[in-house]
Amino acid sequence: MEKPNTRPNEFELVSRYLEPLVLDQEAAACLKDDCAVFGVTAGHEVVISVDTLIADLHFFKNDPPKQIAQKILRVNLSDIASSGAEPKFYFLAMSLPSTIGIDWIEQFCLGLGVDQANFGISLLGGDTTSTPGPLSLTATVIGEVPQGKAIRRGGASEDEDVYLTGVIGDAALALSLIKTNGLDSVSEDFPVLLDRYRLPQPRTVLAPDLRQIASACIDISDGLAADLGHICTTSGIAADIKISWLPISETARVLLREDVRNWQTIISGGDDFELLFTAQPQFSNAIKMLSKEKNIQINRIGKTKKGSGVNFFDPKGKHFPVKKSGWQHF
């Protein structure tokens, strides 16, 4: 039977596309109740992250719907990981403009399903409404952490090491190139950068170990400079970072050879969703082993010290001024 690409009504949307995503039928009551009800593992606390993504502000309207679905989950999963918690469930509030049809919804729900499997989470509920505005998604992701073991921004002390997972700057470089050259050009010439913007890799597998190791942790969403600033302000310390120690991709290296000012984008740009954490020097071997075991690079990028503020230094030990202080949400 031919399937016209019209909007399903709310009943169809829920029964045909969303219900299959519910793995814990009892908690979610098959999405038939207004509330979800669930228990918490003994000796654990609940960890919750809420984030909104809006079309053409936080993703491109014509991005593949599968990746939009994954991104709304992943920006929250990254927050959950930064707390050292393990994700369990999510709620999704979707405001859909009238241009969204069945094909889009099918692909979007496919993306949700793929990441449910990738990260071991299940849909528990949410809300669906139409909007005259842009496509807007708010996810509430629920995790668990052993009581008192959540990692906070404010736990860092002086004389600790500062670490970063993965590489940074690719997502911000993609956005910067799109601004100058347009989306199509970047999509053709720098697909890897664009993927890094569209599909962050939340470091959820590191969370259980990090809560033994890290004194403070944050995920880089506003940019390295701003997010390290958040740790320093909340913890009441300062940090010195060597830019030659910053882990960057091969593509970022090429772009830096073309224009050294790209360092600014790498240091200040957001959307990396890598974990930035502090740890006492005694954990340096444990961190090396963790990196090897999970096959995720974890690099030391600097040290904390008494004082306030974040300073960056070039290879000659000269102070490297950072121009803008990260993403302002509005």
* Among 15, 16, 19, 48, contact with its own copies (rule: CB under 8 A): 48
Give residues with Cβ within 8 angstroms of 283, minimum separation 6: 161, 213
Q: How far apart are CA 273 and CA 250, in angstroms?
A: 18
Instruction: Pick the closer one to its own copies by CB: 93 or 183.
Output: 93
Question: How near is the Cβ of 250 to its own copies at its closest, in Å?
Answer: 30
| 294 near its own copies (CB under 8 A) | no
Q: What character string, x for contact with its own copies (CB under 8 A) and - otherwise, covers 309-328?
A: -------------------x
The residue (of 187 and 234) whose beta carbon lies closer to its own copies is 234
120/133 with CB nearer its own copies: 133
Please tell me what DSSP assigns to residue 76.
H
Distance, CA of 10 to CA of 68 (rounded, Å): 20
Q: Which residue, 37 or 192, is less far from its own copies as judged by CB?
A: 37
158 CB neighbour count, 10 Å cutoff: 15
Q: Which residue matches tokens 């006492």? A: 280
CA dist 41 and 246 (Å) reads: 38
Nearest residue (CB) to its own copies, 177 versus 229: 229
Query: Is residue 95 within the footprint of its own copies (CB under 8 A)?
Result: yes
Structure tokens at 134: 């842009």
- Of the candidates 238, 196, 197, the one whose C-alpha atom is nearest the C-alpha of residue 60 is 197
By C-beta, is 37 or 286 nearer to its own copies? 37
Nearest approach in angstroms of CB 124 to its own copies is: 7
To which H or E segment does residue 284 belong?
A: helix 284-294
Residue 149's contacts (CB-CB under 8 Å, 6 or more residues apart) are: 84, 211
Query: Could you say whether residue 226 binds its own copies (CB under 8 A)?
Result: no
Asked if 114 is part of the footprint of its own copies (rule: CB under 8 A), the reply reads no
Residue in 127, 188, 189, 314 binding its own copies, rule: CB under 8 A: 127
Binding mask 186-225 for its own copies (x = CB under 8 A): --------------------------------xx-x----
Region of 48 (left: φ > 0; alpha: ψ -120 to 50; beta: rest) is beta
- Per CB under 8 A, contacts with its own copies among 22-41 are 29, 32-40
Residue 164 C-beta: closest distance to its own copies, Å: 17
Distance CA 262, CA 177 (A): 10
Euclidean distance between CA atoms 75 and 83, whole angstroms = 13
Q: Does 154 bind its own copies (CB under 8 A)?
A: yes
Please state the closest distance from residue 102 (CB atom) to its own copies, in A. Answer: 13
Q: Which residues of 163-190 are buried (b: 16+ CB within 10 A; e: fewer)?
A: bbbbbbbbbbbbbbbbeeeeeeebeeeb
Name the residues that contact its own copies, by CB under 8 A: 7, 9-10, 29, 32-40, 45-52, 54, 56-58, 79-80, 82-83, 85, 91, 93, 95-96, 124-134, 136, 138, 140, 142-143, 145, 147, 150, 152-154, 218-219, 221, 230, 234, 328-330
